[in-house]
Amino acid sequence: MVDSIHVLGEGGAIFKMDLPLPEAIADRLTKGHLRQVNPDGSPIDESERPTGVPGTPDKRPTVNAPKADWVGWAVHEGMKPDDAEAATKQDLIEKFGTDPVKTEEESAAAGTPTE
């Protein structure tokens, strides 16, 4: 069982954090302000993330998910953390909550019917 993780801070320092994480740190990981890393600072293998530790989302959150999850998704999709935090949940859903619109040619190539 993993009892600690390493977190890359906003200033570039690496911190060893005991689990469970304090709520404020977990929130900052969820929102993308902090990242979990290996002890040497290299990116972790996402498949090895301990259960219950927030981090890079692997799929888009549901519409009724908390705003923090949407902020994390927006950061994952390339938005700056501060910009994502400043946006409303509805703005994030509108920007990142739907699949891009496909042209009829793209839909036909993918075998997806168009509306």
The predicted-structure confidence for 47-78, as pLDDT tens digits, reads as follows 777 777 777 677 899 999 999 889 989 988 99
| Average pLDDT in the chain | 83
In one-letter notation, the amino acid at residue 100 is: P
**CA gap 55, 30 in Å, rounded:** 5
Please provide residue 35's backbone torsions phi and psi, each rounded to the nearest 5 degrees: -135, 140
Question: Whole-model pTM above 0.85?
Answer: no
